[in-house]
Amino acid sequence: MLNYKEFLRYNRFMNINDEYTAIVEKLTNEGAGLSRIGGFVVFVENACTYDRVKIKIKKITKNYALATIVEIIDPSPYRIQPFCPMQKVCGACQLQFIDYNYQLEIKRQIVQDTMHSIGGFDIEIPLPVASPETRHYRHKIQYPISQTKNSKRILAGYYKPSSHEIVNIKYCPIQPEICDRIIEFVRDHAFDYGISGFNEKKHTGELRHVVIRNSVSGDNLVTLVINATKPFGRLIDFARAIYSEFKEVTGVCINFNSKKTNVIMGSKTECIIGKEHIEEHILDKKFLISADTFFQVNPKSAENIFRYVKDYILNNFEKPLVLDAYAGISAFGICVADVSGMVVSIEENLKSVELAHKTAKINNIQNIEIHGGDAGEYFAKESRKFDVIILDPPRKGCTKESLDEAFKLCQNTIIYVSCNPATLARDLKYLKEKGCSIESIQPFDMFCHTYHIENVAIIKV
């Protein structure tokens, strides 16, 4: 491998700010266009497969270069006009300038390439199941808050790509319109209540984030994340003002996060006024979702995943014993309870466990055990053999220890739900080395107009 000085010596043809004409071969798993100049890999920002573009080199490493587009000479047949005017400056919708049907093909290819390069699998990946909605689909928003230096005007929006500079977004077409109105109220009236925006560099200011959970039926739970350890009068008055202004807001909470961290929410949340949760309906079940519990941001696409898993169990088992691990509010366990003999659910977030108990009671589900604690530790203590184990871990995937225990406890099928193709491929490779076989991998488009993709893998033990 060449060191950087050797690279520069052997690759004098390329320098920062050089311009070239390039053809984009495909998109990577992070949404960049892959092209080659003299056989050397160059990643191009905001490119589409088959674009012919003039590019400018912005960074050179010994293995690749990064470039931006100067001119689109011949646009890809899949390139379209983005429906959001902020697409180029906002980092939320990287692929919005690409036809949606072709986005699905790009994501299929990303999963297939990742399975091959990391997992060593030559498996044919089907097209992702499309999201039922491609606009207004995002039912959880998390806006960082800051303020301008001189006018002290409140800013709220998403970060520019590869930065912590906030794009002040007043209209976002991928989220329900009510969210725009709530954020606009925060922007316009926070100063009236003496609420300051957060300064990330200095760790000063009060309001760090506004988090909104919106249900398909139109209810909204607003959470103000503050740089403090307890509520104060001005903030309580502001929370009440938000609640009074919008009939669609069923509750306003305060989350306390005074730590120097990139984590959005702290561990403590207090409901100031109204309800501390919203209700969501998936399949024929009712779920309670609070400010600090996990639930999919795209409920209608999530419903497709729950139906897929439920149908697989129904068509392949007769009242099996099911383990729902990394369960959150036990959404999978509750959805498949009707076709299971017994469901055992394990989740370490105690607030989620509490809501899971309430949700099971609301839905009159008798055949479910709900446990609080670490999944790996629970696996190690459990002696029962399960017909089906549903794994839905965080983005970082499972530990080897958890996979070992799941393998030991499963006597037939592991259903692995993942939002990260790379960690899924890694974990599937490990399970294959233990003797498992990968029956299928089905992608689902949970995050329209981004390079992210959800997958459900069926694994035979």
Positions marked catalytic:
419
CA-to-CA dists, residue 424 to 82, 197, 427, 438, angstroms: 31, 38, 5, 12
Q: Say which residue the tokens 């050797």 belong to.
A: 6
Q: Note whether 406 and 430 are within 8 A (CB).
A: no
Q: Note whether 428 and 416 are within 8 A (CB).
A: yes
Coil, strand or helix at 421: helix
Q: Note whether 91 and 161 are within 8 A (CB).
A: yes
The rounded distance, in Å, linking the Cα atoms of 277 and 281 is 13
Q: Is 433 left (phi over 0), alpha (psi -120 to 50) or beta?
A: alpha
Closest-CA residue to 138 (of 112, 173, 106):
173
Helix, strand, coil percent values for the chain (each to nearest 5)? 25, 30, 40
Q: Which residues neighbour 389 within 8 Å (Cβ) at sequence distance 6 or greater? A: 322, 323, 325, 406, 409, 410, 413, 414, 415
Q: Say which residue the tokens 């207004």 belong to.
A: 136
Alpha carbons within 13 angstroms on the beta-carbon side of residue 447 total 18
- The side-by-side arrangement of strands in the sheet containing 386-391 is 368-372, 342-347, 321-325, 386-391, 410-418, 454-460, 437-444
